[in-house]
Structure 1
């Protein structure tokens, strides 16, 4: 969605933002390729480096949520009780989500490369796979929902923040977009439990549809904005 330049109200970094940044940094450190020991032989180094793609992808997901929170803080500068509660919930979920995230992506890269990128985590049954996808997908949905809730809170404070009509529309559209993105996690959960056994492994590919969601939603939001005379 094309956006005009909106004012940045978060001129000063708050203690809440500092705490959130530190928590996200700690979560990123927990994703390290080899956090407990340094490889001492060539085979150990090669084995450790096999985890690099999953590490990079996991970092990208964590950074996506960190940047969403940072951008929200810079734009709205809210530091009230609802902001604190929503931020604390987001941080708590990041800490819980970090290991399922890495395990899920390691397994994904292992499947896509036919085992060339090995995963340390072993799944021994369909049920275990279903549970892993459910844990990851629910965490993804919950974190997206919290980013959506932050934008919803900013929208409710629109008069206090002296938002323009364009910014009010954009804030609402942003909240809806994050809810829809999180909904892909619910779709993955439904698929992993409802698909026949021979197709269960394809349930996580629902996330691939996110590549098409962004451009489509942007065009729809722009069209609605033009009809309302806001773009």
Structure 2
């Protein structure tokens, strides 16, 4: 545990910043995420030597952007967790290494899957080397994404569960305890919705309609909207309690 200040005031999110000091391990994790982004950029890319190739390269920007946002989501999630709790024990390091390992394993599949998604969405205007020809291919694509997204979300839920177990040691306030439980639930929704998406993909008929084809993917938009609502509700609860001049 690092830089624990009992008298420190909570920040805008209602949490005391217990992890202001950057450890060597935190620096390693940040460098690993940066390396993953580098791999994402250079994976399967050649330097364009003509206008035609440049235009084709620019058409892959949506794929890169979606993959980059995926990596950023989990880097930001871990960064927030580190700032709030400042934990640097063996369990935290194990989970951090697992998170980086999974991101590195999934970086290539994610780029291929998003490439196929944008090619399908644009009716082939946005190119991809990853071709989905059959319903079986489509199911496999959704299975792979569900596995990647679900396991990464599960690791983040374990991070917050670890902080919850140390709530007394960390001297979490009443609001921080409530928010920590909320974060466990919010991140646990990720593998739950991933399983739902995989189940919908498994139920796809051999000749699916456009709606049936998109349902396994629509699940993630619903997840994003609902978790966004949970975050806003937590911020509103903190703002209301803070405005009353009392710390929960």
Give the Cα–Cα distance (whole angstroms) in 2 for the partners of residues 38 and 195 of structure 1: 39
* 1:160 positional shift: 0.7
When residues 222 and 8 of structure 1 are mapped into structure 2, their CA distance, relative to the original with a 3 A threshold, is closer
Give the Cα–Cα distance (whole angstroms) in 2 for the partners of residues 73 and 219 of structure 1: 21
Of 149, 155, 167 in structure 2, the residue corresponding to residue 158 of structure 1 is 167
User: Does residue 201 in structure 1 map to residue 208 in structure 2?
Assistant: no
1:36-75 CA distances to partner (integer Å, 9 max, x unpaired)? 4211011111111110011011111110100110111111
Give the Cα–Cα distance (whole angstroms) in 2 for the partners of residues 80 and 64 of structure 1: 23
Any idea what SS the aligned residue of 2:169 has? coil
Indicate if the aligned counterparts of 1:54 and 1:105 stay in contact, CA closer than 8 A: yes
User: Does residue 63 in structure 1 map to residue 75 in structure 2?
Assistant: no
User: Does residue 75 in structure 1 map to residue 84 in structure 2?
Assistant: yes
1:92-140 CA distances to partner (integer Å, 9 max, x unpaired)? 1001111111111111111111111111112232222211211111110
When residues 102 and 129 of structure 1 are mapped into structure 2, their CA distance, relative to the original with a 3 A threshold, is same
Give the Cα–Cα distance (whole angstroms) in 1 for the partners of residues 180 and 87 of structure 2: 14
* 1:4 positional shift: 4.5
Give the Cα–Cα distance (whole angstroms) in 2 for the partners of residues 13 and 140 of structure 1: 27
Indicate if the aligned counterparts of 1:145 and 1:179 stay in contact, CA closer than 8 A: yes
* 1:218 positional shift: 4.4
When residues 195 and 127 of structure 1 are mapped into structure 2, their CA distance, relative to the original with a 3 A threshold, is closer
Of 98, 114, 134 in structure 1, the residue corresponding to residue 143 of structure 2 is 134
Aligned twin of 1:192 = 201
Given the two structures, how large is their TM-score scaled by the length of structure 2?
0.83
Task: List runs of 5+ in structure 1 lacking aligned partners.
Answer: none
Any idea what SS the aligned residue of 2:41 has? coil
* 1:35 positional shift: 5.6
- After superposing on structure 2, the runs of 4+ consecutive aligned residues of structure 1 that deviate more than 4 Å are 33-36, 218-226
Given the two structures, how large is their TM-score scaled by the length of structure 1?
0.89
When residues 188 and 230 of structure 1 are mapped into structure 2, their CA distance, relative to the original with a 3 A threshold, is farther
Higher mean alpha-carbon deviation, 78-87 vs 106-115, is at: 106-115
Give the Cα–Cα distance (whole angstroms) in 1 for the partners of residues 191 and 133 of structure 2: 28
User: Does residue 213 in structure 1 map to residue 226 in structure 2?
Assistant: yes
Instruction: Report the RMSD for the aligned CA atoms in angstroms.
Output: 2.3
Indicate if the aligned counterparts of 2:18 and 2:86 stay in contact, CA closer than 8 A: yes
Indicate if the aligned counterparts of 1:155 and 1:172 stay in contact, CA closer than 8 A: yes
Aligned twin of 2:158 = 149
Within-5 A mapping of 1:1-231: 4-32=13-41, 36-197=45-206, 198-199=208-209, 201-202=213-214, 203-218=216-231
Any idea what SS the aligned residue of 1:27 has? helix
1:9-52 CA distances to partner (integer Å, 9 max, x unpaired)? 11211122111111111111111166642110111111111100
